[in-house]
Structure 1
Amino acid sequence: MKKLSILNRLEKCGVIAVVRGDSKTEALKACDAIVRGGIKGIELTFTVPQATEAIAELKLKYKDAPEVVIGAGTVLDATTARLAIIAGAEYVVSPSFDRKTAEICNLYQIPYLPGCMTITEMTEALKAGVDIIKLFPGNAYGPTIVPAFKDPLPQLNIMPPGGVSIDNLVDWFQAGAVAVGVGGNLLAPAAQGDYEAVTEIAAQYTKAFKKIKEG
């Protein structure tokens, strides 16, 4: 039930913020700014220095906010996945599919979202128990690719992590995406220390997603 509960919460979040940063402090400030803007799905990547510590701090900070879902991104192997899970990550995201990572996530009942680009990769991931496929790199495609993959594999749950903007958000969801990942344009102001702007952009995504869900 744990894995299903997390998957349901991720789908409810809809928009997942992919957080990178030059330091743990920068990444944590960005996460707080994003949550203030209404985005409740956080994917803190392992390109962030001291990523495990950052995940643990986020889990502690938002322990009384179950709507906030903290995950680990750019996880390249099973060892890193286990470290992320022990730190408190509720889901694990990789740029490519790795069977051992899938196994360790299944062991702990943690959703694994691997990056896949072809039907062959997606099929292998499904066989390993993957529930959501990260369409990577998403910016190499457009929303119309989602039904093209789902036609032969209607059971696919697809999340594009790139090529998503406020302007095309509705197109991705109408095409059948279960969630989307956003990063570059959302976090750009953080590089200049403008976290208020990050909150404002997050609020725009939140408003747009709410409008989509309300139909």
Structure 2
Amino acid sequence: MNLSLSTYLSPIPLIAILRGIQSRECVDIARTIYDAGFRCIEIPLNSPDAIASIALLVEHLPKDCLIGAGTVMTPDQVTAVHQTGGRLIVMPHADTSVIRAAKALNMLCTPGVATLTEAFAALHAGADALKLFPSESVPPSVLKAWHSVLPASTICLPVGGVKPDGMQVYVDAGAQGFGLGSNLYKAGWNAEQVRANADAYVVAWRAFSGG
């Protein structure tokens, strides 16, 4: 079965990044985010027991939620995530060997890029979307210029530092969604805090998108 990132982004085009989360709390936090409307959740591999946490989310969250890993650095890590049932690979860089490893396993892959050269190399290797990371390196004016030369179907997702009131300017420049890290979740935050943050993003998105 061929996966489509657009399918998971269509309800709310926001990817939750749960960096530093513990396995004992990951299901409750992830369910809270899912209930807020998110359908894409990643656990960075530099989190405690990340592989175990990903496996728990795959087991306990609804099947319409895309689960995977962030900060994936090697093809071997791609394989480890795939073995848990995770199907999303997110990277801080554009290592084409990692992208190709993910696509060989029919996984969705969103590599990090900060230049057009990286963007085109990532797309050529099979990337499903481009993670603009850090978002400050690709401000809205630059993203707008990128879209004049990128394939029309390219999904661009700013990641890092984007707050609810900062989304619209990126969307106006051509962003199709966002990856949300420490403004959504920080290690130690409880489900109530995370739900409030998630709701703020969803409300902001719906306010200017009409969704």
Would you say same fold, with TM above 0.5? yes
Instruction: Give the drift of 1:88.
Output: 1.5
1:144-163 alignment to 2 at 5 Å?
144-155=141-152, 156-163=154-161
TM-score, scaled to structure 2: 0.90
Return the alpha-carbon distance in structure 2 between the equivalents of residues 199 and 122 of structure 1: 33
Matched, 1:136 2:137: no
Instruction: Give the drift of 1:21.
Output: 1.4
In 2 relative to 1, CA 91–22 (structure 1 residues): closer, same or farther, beyond 3 Å? closer
Return the alpha-carbon distance in structure 2 between the equivalents of residues 151 and 212 of structure 1: 23
Return the alpha-carbon distance in structure 1 between the equivalents of residues 11 and 175 of structure 2: 12
Return the alpha-carbon distance in structure 2 between the equivalents of residues 139 and 24 of structure 1: 31
2:168 is aligned to: 170
1:25-174 alignment to 2 at 5 Å?
25-62=24-61, 65-155=62-152, 156-174=154-172
Instruction: Give the drift of 1:28.
Output: 4.0
2:209 is aligned to: 213
* Cα contact 1:92–1:113 (8 A) shared by 2: yes
Instruction: Give the drift of 1:11.
Output: 4.2
* Cα contact 1:22–1:48 (8 A) shared by 2: yes
Return the alpha-carbon distance in structure 1 between the equivalents of residues 11 and 41 of structure 2: 13
Q: Deviations over 1:126-169 (max 9, x none)?
A: 11111201111113342222111111224332111113110011
Instruction: Give the drift of 1:37.
Output: 2.8
**RMSD, aligned α-carbons:** 1.9
Structure 2: runs of 5 or more not aligned: none
TM-score, scaled to structure 1: 0.88
Q: How many residue pairs are counted as aligned between the two chains?
A: 210
Instruction: Give the drift of 1:48.
Output: 1.2
Structure 1: runs of 5 or more not aligned: none
Instruction: Give the drift of 1:67.
Output: 3.3
Instruction: Give the drift of 1:26.
Output: 4.3
In 2 relative to 1, CA 212–18 (structure 1 residues): closer, same or farther, beyond 3 Å? same
In 2 relative to 1, CA 116–35 (structure 1 residues): closer, same or farther, beyond 3 Å? same
**If each structure's helix is expressed as a fraction of its own residues, which one has the higher value?**
1
